[in-house]
Structure 1
Amino acid sequence: MKIIVKGIRGGSCVVDVQETTTILELKRKVATDINIPVAQQTMVLFGKTLQDDKTVGSYPKIKDGTKLYVAVKKPDTLNAALTRFLRQYYSDQQCTAIVDEFMKDFQNKVSNLSLDDLERIAKADMGSSA
C-alpha cells in the first residue's frame, strides 16, 4: 500500500509499505526521501504517536492513501544526553557536578584542536559513514 508522509515543516513523500513494515523501517524510508534523520522523527497519525517497534498493520487506521505526519524533534544536546544517562546511576547533584566537569574538560580539549586535527576527525567520520 502507498501512504503519504508529510513533514509538519514542509516536504512530503509517498512511501510503499506492507502491513508487516515496522514504523522504524518506515522512518528509514522517510529519512532517505525527505532528509530527516530517523532519530529526529516522530510519526503521527490522528494526533497519536506511532511506536517504532509496531508494524503498519497494527494501526488499523493506516490504509492505502493514508496521510501520516512526521514531526521533527530537536536533537539532544551533549549535556542533556549525558545527564539523562548518568541519572540512572547518580543523584541529581552528582549528575550536575559530573556533567559540569565533563563539559569544562570537553570545551578545553575542543578549543585546543588545530585545523589539522579537525580535518582528520572530519575525514575519519566521513569514512565511517560511507
Structure 2
Amino acid sequence: MKINIKMLNGQECEFDVPNEMTVAELKTHAYEVFKIPVKDQRLLLTGRPLCDEKSLIEYPQIKNGTRLNLVVKQQPVIKTEELEEMVTKHVREHYSTEDTVKVLKEFMKEFDRSITQFSLDDYERMAKSLLSNDEQQTSQ
C-alpha cells in the first residue's frame, strides 16, 4: 500500500509499505528521508496521533494513498524532572514518602497518556483560550 507522509514545511514523500507494518517501523522509513529522529516524530491521521505499537492495518481509515502528517515533537517547556520535582514537593506535604512515590508514578503515567492523546485541534483550542485570556488581562 502507498502512504504519503507530509511535513508541515511542505516536504512530502510516498512510501510503499505492507499493511502489517507498525507505525514505529514507518517512522524509521520516514527518518531515512526526512532525517528527523524517530523519537521526535509524531505521525498524525486527521489530527490524531498514531500509536507506535499499532500496525497500519489497525487503522481502518488508512488505505492506499492515505496522507499522514509528520510533526516534530517540541521539547517540553517544563522538563520532566522539573515536573516530577514540583509534584513531589506538593504531594509530600500530604502523604508519606512511600505514598508520594506511588502517586508520582501514577501521575506521570497519566500525564504522558494525556499529552499523547492531544490532537492539533486540542492544542489550537488551548492556545486560543490562553491567548484570549492574556488579551483580556492586558486590556483591564
TM-score class, shorter: 0.5 to 0.7
In structure 2, how many angstroms separate the alpha carbons of the residues matched to 1:8 and 1:62? 19
Match of 2:72 in 1: 72
TM-score by length of 1: 0.60
Long gaps (5+) in structure 1: 95-130
In structure 2, how many angstroms separate the alpha carbons of the residues matched to 1:86 and 1:32? 37
Alignment of 1:4-83 (within 5 A): 4-76=4-76, 80-83=79-82
In structure 1, how many angstroms separate the alpha carbons of the residues matched to 2:53 and 2:86? 25
In structure 1, how many angstroms separate the alpha carbons of the residues matched to 2:20 and 2:83? 33
**Deviation of the 1:75 alpha carbon:** 2.9
Structure 1 outlier segments of 4+, above 3 Å: 84-88
RMSD: 2.3
Give aligned-pair identity as a percent: 33
Equivalent pair of 1:12/1:34 in contact (CA under 8 Å): no
In structure 1, how many angstroms separate the alpha carbons of the residues matched to 2:82 and 2:90? 9
Equivalent pair of 1:23/1:51 in contact (CA under 8 Å): yes
How many pairs were matched up? Answer: 92
In structure 1, how many angstroms separate the alpha carbons of the residues matched to 2:86 and 2:54? 28
Per-residue deviation, residues 26-65 of structure 1 (Å, max 9, x unmatched): 1111011111211111111112211111110000111111
Long gaps (5+) in structure 2: 93-140
**Deviation of the 1:82 alpha carbon:** 2.2
**Deviation of the 1:2 alpha carbon:** 1.2
Per-residue deviation, residues 8-36 of structure 1 (Å, max 9, x unmatched): 12211111211111111111110111112
**Deviation of the 1:93 alpha carbon:** 8.8
